[in-house]
């Protein structure tokens, strides 16, 4: 007996997850693969990408790789064309690649501002500009944008990141508005604090670590695997009438003062 409910079955689907050579993206890729999807991993560092692909293949998953920079429009166009012709049509796109460049606004350089906006917000527009028209032609597609609690609230030193993630929340709604009629479902996930390379400076900061554990009703950091269930739901037929939603997976932070 197949234990997977058909509403959550991703067999025969192909998912491109940007920024999936480590951290949250890699966890989501593994989860989507375990739910039956073929996986296309992405990142800039070829060696890290190859190592990530090897770990998923060792788990028996069907994995391809596509090294490209999500801020580089011509590279994205080439990669998406190659994936669609040599791997498979993309049914599921997870716009996950993201970076952090912390600085107080008065000290923030133009480079820190632009790099974070380009990588965390403009990237979703650029990748979707290649993938969405193909999904629209097929009248089927799932797009999941990885937002943040910083789509709603802020802290000192991350204004660039907040502007990008707030923008990504509204871009999600705009995409849903334009593409729902073509049977694309565009939604987002807003993770709370999860232990990855991105948050390493925060995990290692004893004062911050104590504060976030007290501030989070669940009393702890999240594990990237705890984002998999929501991702499978938003990638699967179970969410076929869900559009423009941002689901926060944050241990209750945004629900509490
Ligand atoms: P991470 O561990 O630093 O991983 C980031 C991934 O993105 C890496 O695979 C990296 O590979 C790739 N990447 C970065 N820039 C890229 C670019 N220009 N083009 C292609 N790939 C690129 O980060 P993470 O914590 O897993 O975060 C993943 C996403 O979740 C981000 O959007 C982040 O904002 C969001 N998020 C994280 C948390 C958290 O607590 N960790 C909370 C809320 C939201 P290369 O460097 O090799 O390119």
Residue of 24, 195, 200, 201 to test ligand 1 pocket, by largest number of atoms within 8 Å of CB: 24
| Beta bridge partners of residue 41, listed in sequence order | 17, 65
Catalytic site includes residue 248: no
Query: Measuring CA to CA, which residue among 80, 94, 86, 81 is closest to residue 35?
Result: 94
> How many angstroms separate the CA atoms of 189 and 250, rounded?
10
> What confidence score (pLDDT) does residue 175 get?
99
* Separation of alpha carbons 180 and 173, rounded Å: 10
Distance 3 CA to ligand 1 centre (A): 32
Q: What is the pLDDT of residue 4?
A: 81
pLDDT score recorded for residue 63 = 98
Domains of the chain in start order, with CATH, are: 6-251 (3.40.50.720)
Residue 68 Cα to ligand 1 middle (Å): 14
Indicate the Cα dihedral angle 99, 105, 110, 115, nearest 10°. 10
Quote the ligand 1 centre to 79 CA distance (angstroms).
Answer: 19
Pocket test for ligand 1, best of 22, 198, 251 (most atoms within 8 A of CB): 198
From the CA atom positions of the chain, what is the Rg in Å? 18
pLDDT per residue of the chain (257 residues) written in tens, 0 to 9 = 456 899 999 999 999 999 999 999 999 999 999 999 999 999 999 999 999 999 999 999 999 999 999 999 999 999 999 999 999 999 999 999 999 999 999 999 999 999 999 999 999 999 999 999 999 999 999 999 999 999 999 999 999 999 999 999 999 999 999 999 999 999 999 999 999 999 999 999 999 999 999 999 999 999 999 999 999 999 999 999 999 999 999 999 999 99
The answer to whether the CB of 95 is under 6 A from ligand 1 is no
CB of 199 within 6 A of ligand 1: the answer is yes
Can you tell me the distance from the alpha carbon of 18 to that of 59, in angstroms, rounded to the nearest whole number? 20
At residue 3, the pLDDT reads 67
pTM score of the predicted model? 0.98
Strand ranges across the sheet with 38-43 = 63-67, 38-43, 14-17, 92-95, 141-146, 184-191, 246-249
Q: What is the pLDDT of residue 2?
A: 55
Select which of 161, 193, 233, 248 is catalytic. Answer: 161
Residue 96 CA to ligand 1 centre (angstroms): 6
Atom 3 of ligand 1, nearest CA residue: 198
Residue 53 in contact with ligand 1 by CB distance below 6 A: no
């Amino acid at each position: 007996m197949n234990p997977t409910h058909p509403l959550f079955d991703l067999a025969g689907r192909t998912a491109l997850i940007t920024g999936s050579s480590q951290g949250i993206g890699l966890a989501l890729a593994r989860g989507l693969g375990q739910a039956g999807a073929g996986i296309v991993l992405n990142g800039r560092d070829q060696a890290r990408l190859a190592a990530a692909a090897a770990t998923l293949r060792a788990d028996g998953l069907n994995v391809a790789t596509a090294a490209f920079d999500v801020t580089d429009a011509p590279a994205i166009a080439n990669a998406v064309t190659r994936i669609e012709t040599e791997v498979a049509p993309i049914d599921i796109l997870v716009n996950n690649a993201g970076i952090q460049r912390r600085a107080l606004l008065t000290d923030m350089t133009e480079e820190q501002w632009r790099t974070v906006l380009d990588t965390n917000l403009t990237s979703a527009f650029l990748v979707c500009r290649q993938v969405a028209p193909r999904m629209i032609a097929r009248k089927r597609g799932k797009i999941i944008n990885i937002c943040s609690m910083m789509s709603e609230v802020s802290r000192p030193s991350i204004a660039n990141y907040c502007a990008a993630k707030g923008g990504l929340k509204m871009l999600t709604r705009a995409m849903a508005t334009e593409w729902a009629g073509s049977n694309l479902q565009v939604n987002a996930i807003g993770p709370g604090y999860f232990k990855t390379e991105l948050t390493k400076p925060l995990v290692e900061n004893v004062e911050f670590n104590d504060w976030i554990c007290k501030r989070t009703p669940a009393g702890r950091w999240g594990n990237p695997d705890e984002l998999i269930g929501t991702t499978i739901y938003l990638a699967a037929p179970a969410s076929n009438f869900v559009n423009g939603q941002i689901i926060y997976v944050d241990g209750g932070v945004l629900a509490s003062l």
